[in-house]
Amino acid sequence: MNVDSTVLQASAVVAGYGGKTILHGLDLHIRAGEIYALLGANGAGKTTTLSLFLGFVTPGAGRVQVLGVDPVAHPDTVRRQIAYIPENVALYEHLSARENVAYLLGLAGQQPDADDRLIDESLAAAGLDGAAFDRRVAGFSKGMRQKVAIGLALARKVPVLLLDEPTSGLDPQATVEFNRLLGVLRSQGVAILMVTHDLLSAADVADRIGFLDAGRLLEEVAADGADRFDVRALHRRYGGQAA
Protein backbone atom coordinates (compact mmCIF):
# COMPACT_ATOMS: atom_id res chain seq x y z
CA MET A 1 0.00 0.00 0.00
CA ASN A 2 1.10 3.56 -0.60
CA VAL A 3 2.59 5.28 2.43
CA ASP A 4 -0.17 7.89 2.46
CA SER A 5 -2.76 5.06 2.52
CA THR A 6 -4.31 6.17 -0.77
CA VAL A 7 -6.05 3.12 -2.19
CA LEU A 8 -7.90 4.53 -5.19
CA GLN A 9 -6.15 7.18 -7.19
CA ALA A 10 -7.16 8.95 -10.38
CA SER A 11 -4.96 11.86 -11.42
CA ALA A 12 -5.83 14.18 -14.29
CA VAL A 13 -7.73 11.39 -16.01
CA VAL A 14 -9.23 12.01 -19.42
CA ALA A 15 -11.35 9.11 -20.60
CA GLY A 16 -14.42 8.20 -22.60
CA TYR A 17 -15.85 5.88 -25.19
CA GLY A 18 -14.87 5.90 -28.85
CA GLY A 19 -14.24 9.49 -29.76
CA LYS A 20 -16.42 10.89 -26.96
CA THR A 21 -14.66 12.27 -23.87
CA ILE A 22 -16.64 11.72 -20.66
CA LEU A 23 -14.09 12.46 -17.94
CA HIS A 24 -12.22 15.72 -18.40
CA GLY A 25 -9.23 15.66 -16.06
CA LEU A 26 -10.65 13.76 -13.08
CA ASP A 27 -8.72 13.88 -9.79
CA LEU A 28 -9.93 11.51 -7.11
CA HIS A 29 -8.05 10.05 -4.16
CA ILE A 30 -9.65 7.70 -1.68
CA ARG A 31 -7.92 6.33 1.40
CA ALA A 32 -8.15 3.08 3.33
CA GLY A 33 -11.01 3.26 5.81
CA GLU A 34 -12.75 6.06 3.95
CA ILE A 35 -16.23 6.19 2.45
CA TYR A 36 -16.42 8.51 -0.53
CA ALA A 37 -19.77 9.29 -2.15
CA LEU A 38 -19.69 10.49 -5.74
CA LEU A 39 -22.79 12.41 -6.77
CA GLY A 40 -23.75 13.99 -10.05
CA ALA A 41 -26.45 14.23 -12.68
CA ASN A 42 -27.27 11.42 -15.09
CA GLY A 43 -24.46 11.05 -17.57
CA ALA A 44 -21.92 12.99 -15.48
CA GLY A 45 -19.51 10.05 -15.62
CA LYS A 46 -20.01 8.37 -12.24
CA THR A 47 -20.26 4.80 -13.50
CA THR A 48 -17.44 5.51 -15.93
CA THR A 49 -15.31 6.42 -12.90
CA LEU A 50 -16.05 3.03 -11.34
CA SER A 51 -15.18 1.37 -14.66
CA LEU A 52 -11.83 3.16 -14.63
CA PHE A 53 -10.83 1.54 -11.36
CA LEU A 54 -11.98 -1.85 -12.63
CA GLY A 55 -9.85 -1.48 -15.75
CA PHE A 56 -12.84 -1.54 -18.11
CA VAL A 57 -12.13 1.97 -19.39
CA THR A 58 -8.67 2.98 -20.56
CA PRO A 59 -7.66 6.58 -19.85
CA GLY A 60 -6.49 8.61 -22.82
CA ALA A 61 -4.44 10.73 -20.42
CA GLY A 62 -3.65 10.79 -16.72
CA ARG A 63 -3.05 8.01 -14.24
CA VAL A 64 -5.26 5.48 -12.49
CA GLN A 65 -4.03 3.24 -9.69
CA VAL A 66 -5.57 0.82 -7.25
CA LEU A 67 -3.18 0.12 -4.37
CA GLY A 68 -0.41 1.38 -6.62
CA VAL A 69 -1.31 -0.92 -9.53
CA ASP A 70 -2.57 0.15 -12.95
CA PRO A 71 -5.91 -1.61 -13.56
CA VAL A 72 -5.58 -1.58 -17.34
CA ALA A 73 -2.09 -3.12 -17.29
CA HIS A 74 -2.93 -5.61 -14.51
CA PRO A 75 -6.70 -6.15 -14.51
CA ASP A 76 -6.70 -9.52 -12.73
CA THR A 77 -4.42 -8.31 -9.92
CA VAL A 78 -6.60 -5.26 -9.39
CA ARG A 79 -9.96 -7.03 -9.63
CA ARG A 80 -8.85 -9.51 -6.97
CA GLN A 81 -8.65 -6.55 -4.60
CA ILE A 82 -12.07 -5.16 -5.46
CA ALA A 83 -15.64 -6.05 -4.63
CA TYR A 84 -17.91 -4.35 -7.15
CA ILE A 85 -21.60 -4.19 -6.38
CA PRO A 86 -23.65 -2.92 -9.32
CA GLU A 87 -27.10 -1.40 -8.91
CA ASN A 88 -28.74 -4.74 -9.61
CA VAL A 89 -26.71 -7.50 -8.05
CA ALA A 90 -26.41 -10.50 -10.38
CA LEU A 91 -26.64 -13.82 -8.58
CA TYR A 92 -27.26 -17.42 -9.64
CA GLU A 93 -31.02 -17.49 -9.22
CA HIS A 94 -31.39 -21.23 -8.71
CA LEU A 95 -28.71 -21.34 -6.02
CA SER A 96 -29.16 -20.46 -2.35
CA ALA A 97 -27.45 -17.50 -0.69
CA ARG A 98 -24.86 -19.81 0.83
CA GLU A 99 -24.26 -21.60 -2.50
CA ASN A 100 -23.91 -18.30 -4.33
CA VAL A 101 -21.21 -17.07 -1.95
CA ALA A 102 -19.40 -20.44 -2.07
CA TYR A 103 -19.47 -20.51 -5.86
CA LEU A 104 -18.50 -16.85 -6.31
CA LEU A 105 -15.72 -17.22 -3.76
CA GLY A 106 -14.41 -20.11 -5.82
CA LEU A 107 -14.56 -17.99 -8.98
CA ALA A 108 -12.58 -15.33 -7.11
CA GLY A 109 -9.93 -18.00 -6.50
CA GLN A 110 -10.71 -18.47 -2.83
CA GLN A 111 -11.70 -21.77 -1.25
CA PRO A 112 -14.12 -21.46 1.66
CA ASP A 113 -13.66 -23.47 4.86
CA ALA A 114 -14.84 -27.05 4.60
CA ASP A 115 -17.58 -26.30 7.15
CA ASP A 116 -18.71 -23.12 5.41
CA ARG A 117 -18.02 -21.20 8.62
CA LEU A 118 -16.56 -18.24 6.75
CA ILE A 119 -19.62 -18.05 4.51
CA ASP A 120 -22.09 -18.24 7.37
CA GLU A 121 -20.20 -15.66 9.39
CA SER A 122 -19.99 -13.33 6.41
CA LEU A 123 -23.67 -13.62 5.52
CA ALA A 124 -24.61 -13.07 9.15
CA ALA A 125 -22.28 -10.05 9.38
CA ALA A 126 -23.91 -8.70 6.21
CA GLY A 127 -27.22 -8.81 8.09
CA LEU A 128 -28.90 -11.62 6.16
CA ASP A 129 -31.41 -13.51 8.28
CA GLY A 130 -30.11 -17.05 9.00
CA ALA A 131 -33.40 -18.50 7.74
CA ALA A 132 -32.56 -17.17 4.27
CA PHE A 133 -29.09 -18.74 3.96
CA ASP A 134 -30.42 -21.89 2.30
CA ARG A 135 -33.20 -20.32 0.29
CA ARG A 136 -32.89 -19.84 -3.46
CA VAL A 137 -32.07 -16.22 -4.17
CA ALA A 138 -34.71 -16.08 -6.94
CA GLY A 139 -37.24 -14.72 -4.44
CA PHE A 140 -34.87 -12.30 -2.70
CA SER A 141 -35.57 -8.57 -2.45
CA LYS A 142 -33.02 -6.03 -3.65
CA GLY A 143 -31.90 -5.46 -0.05
CA MET A 144 -31.37 -9.19 0.50
CA ARG A 145 -29.38 -9.49 -2.72
CA GLN A 146 -27.14 -6.67 -1.59
CA LYS A 147 -26.58 -8.45 1.69
CA VAL A 148 -25.44 -11.53 -0.22
CA ALA A 149 -23.08 -9.34 -2.28
CA ILE A 150 -21.75 -7.64 0.85
CA GLY A 151 -21.41 -11.08 2.47
CA LEU A 152 -19.26 -12.13 -0.47
CA ALA A 153 -17.15 -8.97 -0.12
CA LEU A 154 -16.68 -9.70 3.60
CA ALA A 155 -15.71 -13.31 2.89
CA ARG A 156 -13.22 -12.18 0.26
CA LYS A 157 -11.74 -9.66 2.71
CA VAL A 158 -11.09 -7.22 -0.12
CA PRO A 159 -9.57 -3.81 0.62
CA VAL A 160 -11.74 -1.98 -1.96
CA LEU A 161 -15.50 -1.76 -2.37
CA LEU A 162 -17.11 -0.07 -5.38
CA LEU A 163 -20.84 0.53 -5.23
CA ASP A 164 -23.16 1.76 -7.98
CA GLU A 165 -26.35 3.34 -6.62
CA PRO A 166 -26.57 0.94 -3.68
CA THR A 167 -29.56 2.53 -1.96
CA SER A 168 -31.78 3.19 -4.97
CA GLY A 169 -34.94 1.17 -4.46
CA LEU A 170 -34.20 0.37 -0.82
CA ASP A 171 -36.71 1.42 1.80
CA PRO A 172 -35.47 3.81 4.53
CA GLN A 173 -34.92 1.01 7.05
CA ALA A 174 -32.91 -1.06 4.54
CA THR A 175 -30.90 2.06 3.64
CA VAL A 176 -30.01 2.68 7.28
CA GLU A 177 -29.02 -0.97 7.65
CA PHE A 178 -26.96 -0.85 4.49
CA ASN A 179 -25.15 2.29 5.62
CA ARG A 180 -24.42 0.64 8.95
CA LEU A 181 -22.76 -2.21 7.06
CA LEU A 182 -20.64 0.24 5.12
CA GLY A 183 -19.56 1.67 8.47
CA VAL A 184 -18.43 -1.80 9.57
CA LEU A 185 -16.38 -2.22 6.38
CA ARG A 186 -14.87 1.23 6.88
CA SER A 187 -13.82 0.28 10.40
CA GLN A 188 -12.01 -2.70 8.86
CA GLY A 189 -10.00 -0.33 6.68
CA VAL A 190 -11.85 -0.90 3.40
CA ALA A 191 -11.75 1.99 0.93
CA ILE A 192 -15.30 2.54 -0.32
CA LEU A 193 -16.34 4.47 -3.41
CA MET A 194 -20.09 4.81 -3.70
CA VAL A 195 -21.83 6.31 -6.71
CA THR A 196 -25.22 7.60 -5.74
CA HIS A 197 -28.08 10.03 -6.31
CA ASP A 198 -29.03 9.76 -2.66
CA LEU A 199 -27.70 12.91 -1.03
CA LEU A 200 -29.24 12.09 2.35
CA SER A 201 -27.72 8.63 2.43
CA ALA A 202 -24.35 10.02 1.32
CA ALA A 203 -24.49 12.64 4.07
CA ASP A 204 -25.40 9.91 6.54
CA VAL A 205 -22.49 7.61 5.83
CA ALA A 206 -19.78 9.26 3.72
CA ASP A 207 -16.58 10.83 4.98
CA ARG A 208 -16.35 12.90 1.83
CA ILE A 209 -18.80 13.78 -0.89
CA GLY A 210 -17.66 14.71 -4.38
CA PHE A 211 -19.86 16.38 -6.98
CA LEU A 212 -19.18 15.40 -10.56
CA ASP A 213 -20.45 17.64 -13.32
CA ALA A 214 -19.95 16.71 -16.97
CA GLY A 215 -16.82 14.71 -16.17
CA ARG A 216 -15.28 17.27 -13.84
CA LEU A 217 -15.15 17.17 -10.07
CA LEU A 218 -16.78 20.46 -9.11
CA GLU A 219 -16.19 20.25 -5.39
CA GLU A 220 -15.38 17.88 -2.55
CA VAL A 221 -16.90 18.35 0.89
CA ALA A 222 -15.60 16.54 3.96
CA ALA A 223 -17.61 15.51 7.00
CA ASP A 224 -16.95 17.92 9.80
CA GLY A 225 -17.93 17.95 13.47
CA ALA A 226 -20.96 16.36 15.07
CA ASP A 227 -23.35 17.49 12.33
CA ARG A 228 -20.99 16.05 9.66
CA PHE A 229 -22.55 17.77 6.63
CA ASP A 230 -24.84 20.74 6.22
CA VAL A 231 -27.35 18.74 4.22
CA ARG A 232 -29.61 21.72 3.52
CA ALA A 233 -26.70 23.70 2.11
CA LEU A 234 -25.60 20.74 0.01
CA HIS A 235 -29.11 20.25 -1.24
CA ARG A 236 -29.54 23.92 -2.10
CA ARG A 237 -26.33 23.89 -4.03
CA TYR A 238 -26.39 20.47 -5.62
CA GLY A 239 -29.87 19.08 -5.09
CA GLY A 240 -30.89 19.82 -8.63
CA GLN A 241 -27.88 17.99 -10.02
CA ALA A 242 -27.69 15.16 -7.58
CA ALA A 243 -31.34 14.23 -7.57
Ligand X SMILES: Nc1ncnc2c1ncn2[C@@H]1O[C@H](COP(=O)(O)OP(=O)(O)OP(=O)(O)O)[C@@H](O)[C@H]1O
Using CB under 6 A as the criterion, which residues of the chain lie in contact with ligand X when the complex forms? 17, 22, 40, 42-48
Shortest distance (Å) from residue 197 CB to ligand X: 7
- Residue among 22 and 209 whose Cβ is closer to ligand X: 22
Q: Which C-beta is closer to ligand X: that of 42 or that of 111?
A: 42
Closest CB 202 distance from ligand X, rounded Å:
14
Rank residues 49 and 96 by Cβ distance to ligand X and give the closer one.
49
Q: Which amino acid is residue 40, in one-letter code?
A: G
Contacts of 169 (CB under 8 A, 6+ apart): 142
For the CB of residue 163, give the shortest distance to ligand X in the complex, in Å.
Answer: 12
Backbone dihedral region of 137: left (phi > 0), alpha (psi from -120 to 50 degrees) or beta?
Answer: alpha
Smallest gap, in angstroms, from Cβ of residue 172 to ligand X?
21
Is the distance from CB of 15 to CB of 173 less than 8 angstroms?
no
- Looking at the Cβ atoms of 44 and 209, the one nearer to ligand X is 44
Considering the complex, state which of residue 155 and residue 242 has its C-beta at the smaller distance from ligand X.
242
The burial class, CB within 10 Å (0-12 / 13-18 / 19+), for 116 is: middle
Distance CA 39, CA 50 (A): 12
Q: What is the closest distance, in whole angstroms, from the C-beta atom of residue 57 to ligand X in the complex?
A: 8
